[in-house]
Amino acid sequence: MNRIPLSLALLAVLAACDSSQPLIFPGDEVVEVNDAEEVTEDEASGSDPDSSAIPLSIDEILDAGTIEVDLGGTREDRGDIARTEARDGSGGFAEAFIVNETDDTLEIDNLAFDGLNVYTRGANTTPARLSDVGTIAVYHGDLVVPDFLTGADVEQAVPYVALYDESEVIIMDDIPADATPEEIAAIEAAARPRSTFTVVRTGDYVGFGFGGFGYDRAGDTVIADAGQATFSGDYAGLRVVDQFPELLVIQADVQIDIDFDDFNSGAGLKGVIDNRQAFTAEGDPYPTFTGLNRIEIDPATVPAGFVNSDVVQLPELRFVVRGGGETIKENGELSGEIRSRYVNPQNGELETYEEGAYYAIIAGDTTSLAGDENGGEITGIIKIEGPDSRQLGLNLQETGGFIATRTQAP
């Protein structure tokens, strides 16, 4: 994968510097979150039984979980959009991402004890570190940092792990024939992948720890006004639990379908993240069960050294279909609820297991296929929480990202 600087950057700080460009976010900005407007079931509802009433406006969900980055100038004029995680006590602390394609590193700012801010790409070295989850790159923070006076090792909050992926399409404005060198430099500096996402988390804290996410789009979008379309791609997530120091990397498939004809009040959207598999940060498979009822786990499928209670349950995640209200904003942004369900072993009832929100954006032209010059794609983030399936009293948080593209039928 060709590494190009991550594009969630303020135009004012963009500058050509070797092969990297800075990405700066507002750090101490106070974000006011209003309670979602209460609506009746016939105004807006969801396909999930627990979603009898959902916010009419996508902005209500976006404002509760993200901060829109003020790009300004050329980037805003051409339709670029960028969002980062809202500050919520654990997430939303990362303020800068810099991807360096020369040495394949990722620099992240404002996370204490994550090394010297430079995350290195995983490789099959000693100790082993996961390098990829499908098409998604995996970066790791330092394990120790030397005391600046004595050289003694200072242990870090490990593992700090970051995920990054980018579109295969590069967006760059046309260069006029009479452009000055300064104008050419500014246009080239604004060139970037059409969409990107980054997620960073650690499993070292009692609690969900600190981290952040960001996603963006370069250029405008074309949204179809009729027909149906399907998008698919790779998903990767970082899963942490409270009260226990652990981080698991999740691999899965994502598929999103859009009905541009109905609902009459706005397009219908459904999606699923399935085939979820857990790995350690070192790349070792972790026992995973994707079904709804843990009683069905076959002991023979549990690796040596583990017991049934060690198996992490990862049923498919379903996007809640929004009926009524807003589904896709005019600028291509999407947001809504996402949930998984499982069978409660105590009463046999089907219950919500993990729940949260997805934050996404359409890039390119949804009337064109991937592989075309401007074929459509959806880039997004999910953030969910729920009870840990392995031990009562523990709670999980999973934050992940994906880029799903229009693909040719097999």
Classified as helix, coil or strand, 83 is: strand
For the chain, give the mean pLDDT.
Answer: 81
More confident call, 153 vs 249: 249
* Element (DSSP H or E) covering residue 203: none
What was the pLDDT predicted at 40?
Answer: 40
Classified as helix, coil or strand, 245 is: coil
- State phi, psi for 270 to the nearest 5 degrees: -130, 160
- 41: confidence class by pLDDT, cuts 50, 70, 90: very low
**161 has which bridge partners?**
140, 201
Name the residue among 242, 189, 214, 182 with its Cα closest to residue 81: 214
Distance CA(244)–CA(133), nearest Å, equals: 24
Copy the structure tokens of residue 238.
Answer: 């970082």
Question: In the Cβ-directed half-sphere of 374, how many Cα atoms lie within 13 Å?
Answer: 15
Does the pLDDT at position 14 exceed 90? Answer: no
**240 has which bridge partners?**
247, 397
pLDDT per position as a tens digit, 255-311: 999 998 887 677 888 999 999 999 988 888 899 989 888 778 888 878 777 887 888
Q: Full-prediction pTM beyond 0.85?
A: no
Domains of the chain, by residue range, sit at 11-406
Copy the structure tokens of residue 234.
Answer: 């790779």
Q: Where are the beta strands (DSSP E) in 260-302?
A: 268-280, 285-286, 288-289
Distance CA(34)–CA(24), nearest Å, equals: 26
Question: In the Cβ-directed half-sphere of 210, how many Cα atoms lie within 13 Å?
Answer: 13
pLDDT per position as a tens digit, 182-229: 888 888 877 889 999 999 999 877 778 888 999 999 988 999 888 898
Name the residue among 275, 277, 298 with its Cα closest to residue 287: 277
Amino acid at 294: R
DSSP letters for 288-303: EE-SS-GGG--GGGSP
